Amino acid sequence: MPRARSTRTYRQTAAIPQEQGSGCFSGFTIIPLAVIFVSMILGSMALQTSPVQWDSMPDSNSAGLSPIFRPEVLHWADSIRKWASASNLDPNLVATIMQIESCGDPRATSGAGAMGLFQVMPFHFQTGENPYDPEINALRGLNYLARSLAAANGDARLALAGYNGGIGVIPRAEWTWHAETKRYVYYGLPIYSDAVNGINPSPAINDWYSNYGVSLCNQAAGRLGLP
């Protein structure tokens, strides 16, 4: 669930949870102290904004799944509802994760080793489990999402960051987050918001799709036998 991916012709914000939020920091240079000071202030202000609580959003705690998601993701609609119910999660949040991670391709694989619908890293699976089995993949991925949401006190934005960057990033100032985690939240939260508010078509999904999702969703469509 973090880091660079692509044995799937897809370079994106992928979720590979890592407990301490470690990942691919690169290209860092010495930054002037003034910039650091301003960044700290902005990060502090961002953390003090009102959190988006998933259980207070429209239809967020129901069995309702928004139709705004890509057809490749809606292919899994019944399973998403079932998995969300079993994990006590909003199906729209589950679908948002699937949208960004695999666009519904059960065989999606990243260069970092993440696998399946929810791009789960190998160390989350138990011996003998098939990481590409949708049921197993959902069990392990959504268990981590539920833990991330709990650590974020129900704040969907922070939960998305935790799923991508590791639960350890949740209490940290946002200026310390990896660029990938910031992108993940940048696209993920608006998609989730569009879903629970019934904004269809979703500008957020169209934005993500045009910038990151075309190859991934074409791959998923081919895998699923969709037109």
What CATH number corresponds to the domain at position 70?
A: 1.10.530.10
Q: Is residue 3 part of a domain?
A: no
CA distances 88 to 13, 22, 77, 78, 138, Å, are: 25, 28, 16, 15, 13
Any idea which of 37-41, 107-111, 139-143, 189-193 has the lowest mean pLDDT?
37-41
Q: Is residue 89 part of a domain?
A: yes
Q: Is residue 172 part of a domain?
A: yes
Determine the pLDDT at residue 27: 25
DSSP category for residue 185: H
Longest pairwise C-alpha distance within the chain: 54
Q: Is residue 114 part of a domain?
A: yes
Q: Is residue 13 part of a domain?
A: no
Number of domains in the chain: 1
Q: Is residue 16 part of a domain?
A: no
Position 61 confidence tier, pLDDT thresholds 50, 70, 90: very low
- Inform me whether the pLDDT recorded for 84 exceeds 80: yes
| Residue range of the domain that includes 179 | 33-224
Position 44 confidence tier, pLDDT thresholds 50, 70, 90: very low
**Could you tell me if 202 and 188 are in contact, meaning their C-beta atoms sit under 8 angstroms apart?**
no
Query: What pLDDT digit, counting tens, does each position of 88-105 carry?
Result: 999 999 999 999 999 999
Count of CB atoms within 10 A of residue 160's CB? Answer: 30
Examine the residue annotation and report whether 19 is marked as an active-site residue of this protein: no
Check 72, 101, 174, 180 and give the catalytic one.
Answer: 101
pTM of the model: 0.76
Q: Is residue 6 part of a domain?
A: no
Determine the pLDDT at residue 111: 86
Q: Please state, in angstroms and rounded to a whole number, the distance separating the CA atoms of residues 211 and 198.
A: 22
Report, as an integer, the average pLDDT of 35-57: 42
Q: Is residue 61 part of a domain?
A: yes
- Inform me whether the pLDDT recorded for 26 exceeds 90: no
The pLDDT mean for the chain works out to: 80
